[in-house]
Structure 1
């Protein structure tokens, strides 16, 4: 029996199972399966390539002889079918996002685009673009490396572009600025936007409202300095965030120019034109203070929101973002786009995938709609 081939097939089967069915169980096992699932849920093609290659190699070298070997081949076929299901879930995302946009913004507000197949199928890990320059580790506050930000801008420095500010996730106790939503930052920067990704103070050294104050400092910094990189804040300031960063972005968007949250820079304009939340946690902060839940801060003049969430999110069930969507739609005069992504896990914004590229397309259309109505 070919033990090496069986091990390869079993590994592929485990990865496929983690992507198909999010696991709930003991913490150590959960965190391993969670990371495997979110990765190969977005890039199943690499597992497909490896599985096919190992099967072809085993067959060509005559390693498939015993009955047990053919059982391995059968398991490989079942695993391949599972990976195809995973891939199809991602491929189904574009019409879901377009429908969410048109339901919230009106017919004709979404655009069909051809997915970047080479990026998705061949190099999903490579987020950089040759026409985009990253200026790293600029200081926006006095908290050392936790108050540093990166700026992404087109190398040609076209002028007059809008600004996107992004905050990473990490449970408010981990994470850093140059890890999440990079395909989004590079794509928009390549189109003339100036994109900012920022660190912020973390638990346990800091707690609410320290993170939110940092978010507002970044907005103030962008309004003061983004022109140096080709942006014009008058063209639009958008705020986005992943997971905990989405929570912070929502809080910041719902508390514009609040002097209590702007100590020492009370006069700065910290309003934003729209908020984009990716796999966001949108309930109360860890101390249970109701004022830390975006649901309790909704207002009639809230900016437009776009919320994208996976229907298989292991960490934040869909009921969580839906609560904010319902609250906003009941009060706000601005539209709320809610796209529930089929087969999406938490942290779907790490790679070039069919799913995240479709979400980025939707963000572009959403931003176009917002800017046209400013």
Structure 2
């Protein structure tokens, strides 16, 4: 019995099952199925290659003759079918996002884009990177690491991503990682997004912030606003047009993004830098948490408590299979925000997507990257129209 083959097939099959049928409760099992299924669910081609490779090796070594090996091969075929289902789910991300834009902006939203911004949008996905699955650094993007924006040591450091040619006049994206406010770091998530935009002339900033238990709600929010203020003050040194600043985040980072977007220039959250400009052009929230913060007075730390008519445009993206933050949370936030804001709120719900869908290049997340760029192009095009008027 080829035990190495059995182990590899069992591992991939269990991960594929977790991707297809994630548990939502109890909390510990939900977290377990999330971790088990993250690779097959986001990079199914890699899982397929591993499955095929292990099967071919077992066949070449003539290890498929026993009954156990034949059963294992049958499980491998079933897992491969499951991975094809995962791929088909990923392919639905594009139509889902297009429908979300059409619902929020109207059927002719692409025609309203400024010609130069429309021409810069990506026409095809990076299929080579998607097939490999793992993130690959772009040679035309430079990362300037560990710049200080506060006095909290490594938790108050940020990275700047920009094109190696150092063009001038690009917009700014400020990004915050997830991790439940307990964990996470600035160079783990959303790297395909940061590198795509930096490759298009943007100046992208990904920042650490203070974490629990040493920090609390106001510390996180203050750090986030300090990063925005830093970008406004220093962005021009890296070629940025600091008048156009988008903010994005994943999970807890989306919580902060929404709060910053809804409390712009509020001195109550800018102790020591009350007059700094912390306004935001648009907000992009990925698989966000939108509830109350740990132990904070109920109703005072959820973004839904701060919705306002003059909120900036929002792009909210969430997976309908999210085990850690159920999709209903995003639906509730979007409904509340749409009820108050005069600006569009685009909500794209991704079939089969779990939490942390921005870790890898995939058919799904690269569609989200394109959506973020198209959203920014639409907002910037409207800015240009308003300025001319």
TM norm structure 1: 0.96
Question: Closer, same or farther in 2 for the Cα pair 1:25/1:256, shift >3 Å?
Answer: closer
For this pair of structures, how many residues does the alignment match? 372
Residues 1:182 and 2:224 aligned together? no
Given that 1:113 and 1:361 are in contact with CA atoms closer than 8 Å, whether structure 2 keeps it comes out as: no
Given that 1:127 and 1:182 are in contact with CA atoms closer than 8 Å, whether structure 2 keeps it comes out as: no
Given that 1:127 and 1:186 are in contact with CA atoms closer than 8 Å, whether structure 2 keeps it comes out as: no
Aligned to 2:302: 293
Task: Give the whole-Å Cα distance in 2 for the aligned partners of 1:168 and 1:265.
Answer: 23
Given that 1:140 and 1:148 are in contact with CA atoms closer than 8 Å, whether structure 2 keeps it comes out as: yes
Q: Structure 1: where are the runs of 5+ without partners? A: none
Q: Which of the residues 224, 241, 262 maps onto 1:215?
A: 224
Given that 1:165 and 1:195 are in contact with CA atoms closer than 8 Å, whether structure 2 keeps it comes out as: yes
Q: Secondary structure in 1 aligned to 2:162?
A: strand
Aligned to 1:114: 124
Aligned to 1:277: 285
Q: CA deviation at 1:21?
A: 1.5
Aligned to 1:63: 63
Task: Give the whole-Å Cα distance in 1 for the aligned partners of 2:25 and 2:258.
Answer: 30
Q: CA deviation at 1:233?
A: 1.4
Aligned to 1:260: 268
* Structure 1, 193-202 or 13-22: larger mean CA deviation: 13-22
Given that 2:144 and 2:159 are in contact with CA atoms closer than 8 Å, whether structure 1 keeps it comes out as: yes
Cα deviation digits, residues 278-313 of structure 1 (max 9, x gap): 010011111243121111110000000000000000
Q: Secondary structure in 2 aligned to 1:58?
A: helix
Given that 2:30 and 2:324 are in contact with CA atoms closer than 8 Å, whether structure 1 keeps it comes out as: no
Q: CA deviation at 1:245?
A: 0.5
Task: Give the whole-Å Cα distance in 2 for the aligned partners of 1:211 and 1:335.
Answer: 27
Aligned to 2:116: none
Residues 1:317 and 2:326 aligned together? yes
Q: CA deviation at 1:27?
A: 6.3
Q: CA deviation at 1:106?
A: 1.8
Question: Closer, same or farther in 2 for the Cα pair 1:24/1:299, shift >3 Å?
Answer: closer
* Structure 1, 19-28 or 43-52: larger mean CA deviation: 19-28
Residues 1:160 and 2:149 aligned together? no
Tell me the C-alpha RMSD between the 2 structures.
1.5
Given that 2:147 and 2:157 are in contact with CA atoms closer than 8 Å, whether structure 1 keeps it comes out as: yes
Aligned to 2:40: 40
Q: How does 1:74-89 map to 2 (within 5 A)?
A: 74-89=74-89
Aligned to 1:134: 143
Q: CA deviation at 1:39?
A: 2.4
Q: CA deviation at 1:237?
A: 0.4
Q: CA deviation at 1:38?
A: 1.8
